[in-house]
Amino acid sequence: MKLTPVYSILLSMKDLKNNILNPFSRQFHIIQLSLWATYGLIFRLSWLGYDYVPPETVWFALYVFGGYIATNLLAILYWQNRKRSFIKQFLIAAIASILLGMAWRFGFNYIDFHFLLDEPPEDVDGFYYILGGTSSVIHLVAWSTGYLLIAYYFMFKKEREKSVLAELHAKEALIKQLHQQVSPHFLFNVLHGLDTLLIKKDIDQSRHMLASLGQYLRSSLSTEPDSSVPLADEIKNAQSYLNIEQMRFGEKLQLNWNLDPKLDQFNVPCLILQPLLENAIKHCIDKSVHGGKIEIRTEKVEDSILISVFNHCFGAIKHTDCSNGLGIGIENIRARLDIYYGSRAVLETRHGEEGEFTAVIKIGDY
């Protein structure tokens, strides 16, 4: 199902709102509170190893709260600049971490000295206001590094998903284009056969062929062109098509099916055999004085599935041989196999004796 433009925009806004790096989202603050609460607990427990009495709990809470506020401000800054280059984001993070780290420590020490310890201003050296600022800066640098690494991971993941989606759309468009090349050729051949029967005034056979054509079209067009079907269904489509052609050629067309029922549920691209069958009819059966034979075989050899179409023309060939004019159909099949299976599938063609031609679809890793 395709997304409407409005729904796509709303979905994007929802994804943006749920982004854990978004400082305006609930998820971000849940993670932040959990992170700083854990840090505060570890910070408090680390004082147990000292001989002197640790500060009051409010001292630790005040320091952790300062870190929470400082990192929230950093997150807002990074979020607003998330579309800038890596160098600019790095410089912003470095400068902001230093400045906010010093400001965090200055504010914490000011409250500690003048409210918690209740010392008069003249008894506190100004240096002590920023004492320990280095540790605060280190904390913010570490937090910023983690934030930016996660941001770049999400960006890489999103770009990869977009690339895969674009590739899928391109493949879908190509499959539909290739599928559209099959149907017109098939219809042209069948209508030509129907025209031949009408010229011969064979009304009953014409009606039978027209009914068979309708049944075949309902079966084949009900399947999406970019989908795959069980091999058994693909064979049924091939049988329907060849039955129609057999009405046209009569005894000139001999059919031989050599099928392995164990492969019936193996999925193949829909109508993948159609170009091979059309070529066999057009370039051999139709051109041969005495017609010919078409054999379709499915088998498993080691770890590969082999789907073969063999055609043999009887007698002389009129004007051409059965290997001419196969380029479009062959390239069509190869392109579709590459889309569905990549390097796992190949189409092999070979010429036998005069009037013989074999095409084998080989799909490996089965």
Which one, of 281, 278, 275, 309, lies nearest residue 295 by Cα?
Answer: 309
Query: What's the pLDDT band for 365 if we cut at 50, 70, 90?
Result: confident
Q: Domains in the chain: how many in total? A: 2
For residues 73 and 108, is the Cβ–Cβ distance under 8 A? no
Do 216 and 278 have their domain in common? yes
Q: Is residue 151 part of a domain?
A: no
Helix ranges, 200-306 (H): 203-221, 231-249, 274-280
127 and 212 both lie in a single domain: no
How many angstroms separate the CA atoms of 278 and 220, rounded? 15
The set of residues, in sequence order, having a beta carbon less than 8 Å from that of 47 and lying 6+ positions away, is: 54, 55
Three-class secondary structure of residue 125 per DSSP:
coil
Q: Which of 131, 152, 173 is where one domain is finished?
A: 131
pLDDT of residue 175: 55
Q: What CATH number is given to the structural domain containing 339?
A: 3.30.565.10
d(CA 236, CA 247): 17
Reported for 30-36, long-range contacts at CB under 8 A and 24+ positions apart, including other chains, are 32/68, 32/71, 32/72, 32/75, 33/68, 36/64, 36/67, 36/68, 36/71
Residue 12 is predicted with a pLDDT of 45
Please check whether residue 293 lies inside any domain of the structure: yes
Predicted confidence at residue 71, as pLDDT, reads: 95
Flag whether 169 is in a domain.
no
Is 171 inside a domain boundary? no
Question: pLDDT at position 51, please?
Answer: 66
Concatenating the DSSP letter of every residue in 190-230 gives HHHHHHHHHHTT-HHHHHHHHHHHHHHHHHHHTS-TT-EEE
**Secondary structure (3-state) at 355:** coil
Query: What does the pLDDT look like over 241-299, one tens digit per residue?
Result: 888 888 878 888 999 999 999 999 999 988 888 888 888 888 888 788 788 899 999 99
What was the pLDDT predicted at 11? 39
Q: Are residues 96 and 241 in the same domain?
A: no
Strand partners, 257: 296
Does residue 127 sit in the same domain as residue 60?
Answer: yes
Single-letter residue type at 347: L
Instruction: Flag whether 308 is in a domain.
Output: yes
3-state secondary structure of 360: strand
Q: Supply the pLDDT for residue 14.
A: 45
- 59 and 118 share a domain? yes
**What percent of the chain has pLDDT above 70?**
77
- Name the residue with tokens 């998330």: 82
Residue 264 falls inside a structural domain = yes
Residue 59 maps to a domain? yes
Q: Which two tokens stand for residue 97?
A: 């971490």
The answer to whether residues 73 and 195 belong to one domain is: no
Is there a contact between 32 and 68 (Cβ–Cβ < 8 Å)?
yes
Q: Specify burial of residue 35 (Cβ count, 10 A radius: 0-12, 13-18, 19+).
A: middle
- How far apart CA 269 and CA 336 sit, in angstroms, is 8
pLDDT at 5: 43
> Per residue in 190-233, pLDDT tens?
777 777 777 877 788 778 878 877 777 776 666 665 578 899 98
Examine residue 142 and state whether it is found in any structural domain, yes or no: no
Same structural domain, 93 and 213? no
Print the domain residue range for 75: 5-131
Single out the residue in 93, 115, 131 at which a domain terminates.
Answer: 131
Is residue 86 located within the same domain as residue 215?
no
Query: Residue 160 and residue 171: Cα distance in Å, rounded?
Result: 16
Residue pLDDT, tens place only, 227-251: 788 999 889 888 888 888 888 788 8
Residues 340 and 214 in one domain: yes
Last residue within a domain, chosen from 131, 161, 191? 131
Neighbours of 49 (CB within 10 A): 6
Inter-residue contact 308 to 360 (CB < 8 Å): yes
- Shared domain for 124 and 204, answered yes or no, is no
Angle 313-314-318 from CA coordinates, rounded to 5°: 75
Distances (CA, A) of 235 to 39, 245, 263, 294: 66, 15, 11, 14
Instruction: Say if residue 115 is in the same domain as residue 207.
Output: no
Work out the angle between the directed axes of helices 57-80 and 86-111 (0-180°, nearest 10). Answer: 160
Instruction: Say whether both 241 and 103 belong to one domain.
Output: no
Name the residue with higher pLDDT: 282 or 22: 22
